[in-house]
Amino acid sequence: MYAQMVKSTGQGVKSLDEMDPQERAFQERINRDEKIEPKDWMPAAYRKNLIRQIGQHAHSEIVGQLPEGNWITRAPTLERKAILLAKVQDEAGHGLYLYCAAETLGVSRDELTEDLLSGKMKYSSIFNYPTLTWADMGAVGWLVDGAAIMNQVPLQRTSFGPYARAMVRICKEESFHQRQGYDIMMKMANGSDAQKRMAQDALNRFWYPSLMMFGPSDKDSVHSAQSMAWKIKMNTNDELRQKFVDQTVPQAEYLGLTVPDPDIAWNEEKGGYDFTEPDWSEFFDVIKGNGPCNVERLAARNKAWDEGRWVRDALLAHGEKRRAARVVAAE
């Protein structure tokens, strides 16, 4: 998802009997659905895991601005441009809510940023794919934001208070993103032959990368088991992927577009669609840095950070000077 392959302790989940009293009290609070707040005691591994997960989620929101930013100056109408601008601004806001949530765990904003820029921390694999046509803006909103919503809605109930509250705000705004994407797809799919081809092409390119967003099957993963015990992950990757496919296939049919998987078929017995798994070797390759746009994305973030340094420093110096002047005036 926006946070893929987050590693936890690497050990199995401890039973309540194996925990020391402090740890047991903590786990029991989580089991009772009590929220953990920043100043509460928490196991070091819970803190570390959450910093990784929320940080990766925040980075995904920030890097996720780039593929769409690519089309702001090329939107087909002024209205579409204003809408896309508002959406990209929302992504920046989502990144900021999440960075703030991570900061309550004791990591600084600059540390998180630098770990993204050095490649130490990851962001979602999906943003390493290019956005080649205007129809991609439709596919990204419909599929990528749609997949994100699948993951984020349950995270509103996550055990860490600041993360859950950030998710509530994000989910409220995310629905606009998906609907504006589908609206673009409807326009294209009902347009000229060329527009329809473009819409189909966008679906073809984004289908499997969207399925990859949920991450590889984790039903046997110790990391996932621990995260689920801590309620910082609410569903398995496979559950969410299935839900996404079940929701999306009829939406594609409504558009008159074909999901690029010849084996898609309704399975009455399981009450969901059977579908082809994405190519996981491609996923691991993209995560490793070899996707079509990894280099470009990180270069763009590094450039923005480096070239903005003088502005950050100047504003800080100005703020400190004025604070100092006020103190002198008060004395």
Partner 1 sequence: MSSVSPSPYPETDEKADKPKRHEWPLWEVFVRGQHGMSHRHVGSLHAPDAEMAILNARDVYTRRNEGVSLWVVEARHIAASSPSDKGPLYEPSESKIYRHPTFFDIPDDVGAM
Residues lying near partner 1 in the complex (CB under 8 A): 37-41, 44, 47-48, 51, 86, 89-90, 93, 96-97, 100, 103-111, 165-166, 169, 173, 312, 315-316, 318-319, 322-323
- What is the nearest approach in angstroms of partner 1 to the Cβ of residue 43? 11
* Beta carbon of residue 302, minimum distance to partner 1 (angstroms, whole number): 18
Nearest distance from residue 250's CB to partner 1, in Å? 29
Cβ neighbours of 62 (radius 10 Å): 22
DSSP character string of 59-92: HHHHHTHHHHHTTGGG-SSHHHHHHHHHHHHHHH
Residue 44 or 328: which CB sits closer to partner 1? 44
Residue 37 tokens read as 């707040």
At 138, list the tokens.
Answer: 């439709």
CB 218 within 8 A of CB 238: yes
Q: Minimum CB separation from partner 1 for residue 221, in Å?
A: 24
- End-to-end alpha-carbon separation of the chain, Å? 54
Q: Which is nearer to partner 1, 32 or 192 (CB)?
A: 32
Q: Which amino acid is at 104?
A: T
Nearest residue (CB) to partner 1, 132 versus 316 = 316
Question: At closest approach, how far in Å is the CB of 247 from partner 1?
Answer: 25
Collapse the DSSP code of 95 into the 3-class scheme (helix H, G, I; strand E, B; otherwise coil) and give the result: helix
3-state secondary structure of 258: coil
Residue 316 Cβ vs partner 1, minimum distance, rounded to whole Å: 5
Give the nearer residue to partner 1 in terms of CB position, either 76 or 308.
308
Cβ proximity to partner 1: between 86 and 299 the closer is 86
Q: Which residues contact 1 (CB under 8 A, 6 or more apart)?
A: 124, 147, 148, 151, 213, 214, 215, 237, 240
Specify the DSSP element, H or E, that contains 178: helix 161-189
Nearer to partner 1, 62 or 249 (CB): 62
Residue with tokens 């009293």: 21
Least distance from partner 1 to the Cβ atom of residue 321, Å:
10
| Beta carbon nearer to partner 1, 32 or 269 | 32
Name the CA dihedral angle for 189, 80, 139, 164, rounded to a multiple of 10 degrees. -140
